[in-house]
A and B are shown apart, each in its own frame.
Chain A
């Protein structure tokens, strides 16, 4: 088929559907047919484009012409004038000089991007991150200039509060409120910190955001400095992100050159400076009090709160800590407006969230979607579903602090509260898709191994408790599980959650507890019948030769411990006492003659 001449994107968000976008689509199709354009024009449906008040929205590419409030009666005019006559219908165009989604034109080709909404990652993959000109050209630092010129610090805080933005680091505390609490504290020495200590296994949202668009993080922090009355900012980032550090360094230098950092920013009387502090890559340093200790030069260990950092943080001064993604949202909120921002997302969670989609899914990658999208839409529509014809089993969100949600939760909406209700958390944005070949007990063991390794050791429940949980899980996966182990895990888990000092310990049992809640039968099978249905716990497997064996000898040749015996062209046999269950015979057999159970 020839490349279509035009691509239409019709917003399929709830608000637009409510405004009769479905009827619109039918009308467009009818008109296309009438003009013989069915092959020359493709119609795509997209997720909410964030212009709900002007829905239904129709985007025409090339050209990225956005039509708003399109009614069925307008369709004839659009098709005849724009698609046939190449003349846009100016009456209906609602082009705006907004920051979000402005590159829909470039992203819009793939189905992957069509349902996304890019606010935080708006420039990622578009601009040259090492050239400040690229950022300046796209209204970079305009939000800062506007704040300095037209807004009082309190007005900036009010705007952020009104937007409904919540911290993207995991816990979801209201960002505006956090700013207000820090601003309220007396004293002229305050700090603003960017938490770029991204530690969840498989998560790379912050790294990509910084590497793709470092200036937006800087701009967000400078604005916050102005709003809360701080003159010093620190970016805490782990040393294992060398490229991100290099680009931040470059960005800070360039910002200095342009008078966007340092004394009297943009000719105002506000002064602010930034420096980078490197972390050694300890997971616990993502916890804000541990992070502060690390910057101060002490060991990265948390302390009880309150006092919260907003009251007594870095060097005992009021400190504002936000995550990379939170900072990246700030310039957009100021320029495009809190009113607009608060139309995106759900009642309690506004805006978008970036997820690192990984695991058993076709399109692994970084996605930014409006809150309220369902897990199913992310995994199947954007992620493209499960490869190799396997079945979906669960999705893990929130990394080592989160939980596993099975099939029946696929239609759960993504927001802080729905995920918590379903038994997981939003977390910082890791999303791992699990198929039927993965064992849930082994998965829980993996996460608890991670947290017990990363536990700082300060409080006993976390230090000892995670270790004991790890021991129990290990023995279950080795086929030495005992009746009562599940109950022990549950009791330990609840105890660790209640008694630990910081978020690391309080959430460490979550992967175990949620897999027990949703996949209890798998645990029971491991313990009572010593079976692993996913075939992942090798200690529980046994390999035997069945009737299909033709005696080709392939398994015999590949066996590293000579556990296969049998004459050529006769049925072979596996010596169980010698077998190390490596599974190579199972993989190599062409006749399906090895039974793995």
Chain B
């Protein structure tokens, strides 16, 4: 019989491996803000852009949603985290900008500085 702490540690290990199985260790992780405020600002469409890009063959990207980080005036926000690099946070991401982020940042590795927060 496991104690509560042992149980929770086991659960955590299982959770971590499930997250990894979903592709967390991909070189780039993309997070799209999806709270009520961000959705109202249009983040659902932005999410769709990234999802379609992955469906269309973009690889080595882990896509996930996140809650509101508090930058209300800059929403929707998109975060691109690459291991070893400073995380890049884009603000006011429209579907148009999202497509460019896919093309320029995710495919060609170019950080689009003018949209960064």
Are A145 and B8 in touch, CB under 8 angstroms? yes
Which chain B residues lie closer than 8 Å to A129 at the CB level? 65-67
Which chain B residues lie closer than 8 Å to A212 at the CB level? 35, 66-69
Partner of A106, one of B12, B35, B67, B79: B79
Partner of A136, one of B4, B15, B33, B37: B15
Are B68 and A62 in touch, CB under 8 angstroms? no
Partner of B4, one of A241, A244, A266, A363: A266
The segment from A48-56, A203-211, A422-430, A485-493 found at the interface with B is A203-211
- Bound complex: CA A129 to CA B66 (Å): 6
Are B81 and A125 in touch, CB under 8 angstroms? no
Are A267 and B2 in touch, CB under 8 angstroms? yes
Within 8 A of A (CB), among B1-49: 1-5, 7-9, 11-12, 15-16, 18-19, 33, 35-37, 39
A284 → B minimal CB distance (Å): 23
Contact A267/B4 with A110-B89, A243-B35, A244-B36 known, Cβ cut-off 8 Å: yes
Are A204 and B4 in touch, CB under 8 angstroms? no
Which chain A residues lie closer than 8 Å to B64 at the CB level? 128, 131, 134
- Bound complex: CA A365 to CA B38 (Å): 12
Which chain B residues lie closer than 8 Å to A267 at the CB level? 1-4, 7
Which chain A residues lie closer than 8 Å to B8 at the CB level? 136, 141-142, 144-145, 266
- Bound complex: CA A141 to CA B85 (Å): 30
Interface check A39, CB cutoff 8 A: no
Are A110 and B7 in touch, CB under 8 angstroms? no
- Bound complex: CA A44 to CA B11 (Å): 38
Interface check A112, CB cutoff 8 A: yes
- Bound complex: CA A136 to CA B15 (Å): 6
Which chain A residues lie closer than 8 Å to B11 at the CB level? 136, 141, 258
Are A243 and B36 in touch, CB under 8 angstroms? yes
Residues of B contacting A: mostly = mixed
Q: How large is the interface on B (under 10, 10 to 19, 20 to 34, 35 or more residues)?
A: 35 or more
Are A364 and B19 in touch, CB under 8 angstroms? no
Partner of B117, one of A110, A149, A207, A242: A110
Which chain B residues lie closer than 8 Å to A344 at the CB level? none
Interface check A198, CB cutoff 8 A: no
Are B19 and A133 in touch, CB under 8 angstroms? yes
- Bound complex: CA A211 to CA B36 (Å): 8
A553 → B minimal CB distance (Å): 38
Question: Please, what's the 1-or-0 string for A80-123, where 1 marks a CB less than 8 Å from any CB in chain B?
Answer: 00000000000000000000000001110110100000000101
- Bound complex: CA A559 to CA B4 (Å): 74
Which chain A residues lie closer than 8 Å to B9 at the CB level? 142
Contact A142/B35 with A125-B68, A128-B64, A136-B15 known, Cβ cut-off 8 Å: no
- Bound complex: CA A431 to CA B71 (Å): 15
A59 → B minimal CB distance (Å): 13
Are B67 and A211 in touch, CB under 8 angstroms? yes
Contact A268/B79 with A62-B84, A127-B66, A129-B67 known, Cβ cut-off 8 Å: no
Which chain A residues lie closer than 8 Å to B59 at the CB level? none
Interface check B58, CB cutoff 8 A: no
Interface check B112, CB cutoff 8 A: no
A65 → B minimal CB distance (Å): 14
Are A132 and B7 in touch, CB under 8 angstroms? no
Interface centre among A140, A149, A204, A365 (most CB of B within 10 A): A365
Interface check A499, CB cutoff 8 A: no
Kindly list 16 other residue pairs between chains A and B, CB separation below 8 angstroms, not including A110-B117, A129-B66.
A62-B86, A125-B68, A132-B15, A136-B8, A145-B8, A146-B5, A149-B3, A207-B35, A208-B35, A211-B68, A212-B35, A213-B67, A243-B39, A267-B3, A267-B4, A365-B72
- Would you list the 10 A-B pairs with minimal beta carbon distance, nearest first? A212-B67, A125-B69, A366-B70, A136-B15, A133-B15, A266-B4, A145-B8, A145-B4, A365-B72, A148-B4
